[in-house]
Structure 1
Amino acid sequence: MFTSIGLRTVLRSSCCVLRESSAVSSALSVKPLLTGPSVSRVAGSFAIPPPVRHYARVAKKKKTGPESQLSDLPPTLLKKDYAAVPLAQTTDDVVKRLLSLELASHSEKLQLKTEQLIGKVQRDESDRHSVEVQVAILTTRIRNLQEHLQKHHKDKANKRRMLMAIDRRKKLLKNLRLVRYDAFENVCEQLGITYTFPPEYYRRATRRWLAKKAFCIKVFKAVQKQKAEQKLKMKQGLSSTGTQVAESKATEMK
């Protein structure tokens, strides 16, 4: 009797173990239909979510600034110091690359650009100090500083240098326009400069300024009135003295 009861309890426990193992295997084999972070049903285990890839995000476009004044210089052009050397034209390709603008610095390119602008406006080959040449040099400097300030807009020192160069160029162009108008037009055309006239003087009319102006006009009129009276007295005195002299001469004749 006791042996039959023991066999029954062993069979029942083995059936329960088989049921639990089948449930665990079915839980592991079933794949979740929804994507995203999820935790498995087995105690003590964690399923890592797949990485999220943002395929729908639009690629950022690079900001393209205005075209530089040095962009028209070809990279095969020789530097200023080697342009007049005949041996530099027949050298090896590697040496030509070293002597050309392909591996040149920004200052060397700027120097060559300055020489190009000077060649457009100079009076003769030996002209280096005329007003036209000074305007060309200032134009290259101003455009270079404008390109620099577009990238570094907080550079106050270079901004001040640019404004000083602009004022200097305005004075030179103003004087050139008054003295030689044909040269002024040629410089503006060759260098691409648009000359604008300075604005007319304008002062805000305040009450104090209006009262001061009215007082000045009143004083000016009073002074003019006094001068007119003095002139009239002088004329009357001269006329009276003239009549007295004439009367004295007439009495002497008698």
Structure 2
Amino acid sequence: MLRRLSTSIIQTRGVKQLVNIKWVRPEYVPAYKQERSGDLEGLPKIPTNSLAEEYALSDEMKDAPESVKKIFSVEHLGKKEYNHLVKKELINRVRRHRYDENTAETRIARLTGHIRCLQDTMEKFPRNVKAKQTVQELIDKRKKLLKFLRQYDYKKFEWLLEKLNIEYKAHPETYHKLSRKESLRKLTEMHCEDIRQNKLADYRNLLESQQGPFLEQKLEALKFIRSEQIDLQLPITVSEQEIKKIVQQLEDWKKNDEIKQQAKKKKRNILLD
């Protein structure tokens, strides 16, 4: 009934007058953003005072003064060298051994490092078309490798997602275009469902409020029937257990009703304040 009503409201004119529903188109999120790519973190935190990989292996740097070490530290590296450190840090999380460079895990880690470096570039230069195309291609390539790993080794797939802190978002099987008419229809159905639930809740509260007087009347009637059957020496159809059960139900209702009344008073006081 409500579904037919919502459909008829959408099809007729004057929807805004009948139902106060405002539809706003969702904000567009580019494919390189972390919300769509699945990256749950940005660039890994590399200490800026640590030496770069090439200079750390030098014997002269061990005895060099602090001013010289600062010049050759990560803080003064170029963008290309810093991106190389980012990729290496992510690869070291998942590599099997020292010479592991071409397994699925290391390839995914290398792609993840490249993607996060390009994401950082896009945040600074959002109109860089070449970087935007490159990062989208890398995200699609990583999805294919993740799909392959998920199909053939699911445990390693879960372990890799946890290590690299990424979320697998597969390509959608079907493309669904967002339209204003369909969204309004769904919003109207949700609005009608809310009205229905509110009416049911009001009716439930009404029945619960009438439960106490009904139990009192029932208790008096059962006691009267039992006393009359005893006086007239007729077969007793009302047992003491039934009367005790009604008494217990009445006490429970009184406790619950008292709790509800206290909650209403608190809510009223909050609104007044």
Normalising by structure 2, we get a TM-score of 0.47
Bigger relative contact order, structure 1 or 2 (CA pairs below 8 A, ≥6 apart): 2
Normalising by structure 1, we get a TM-score of 0.50
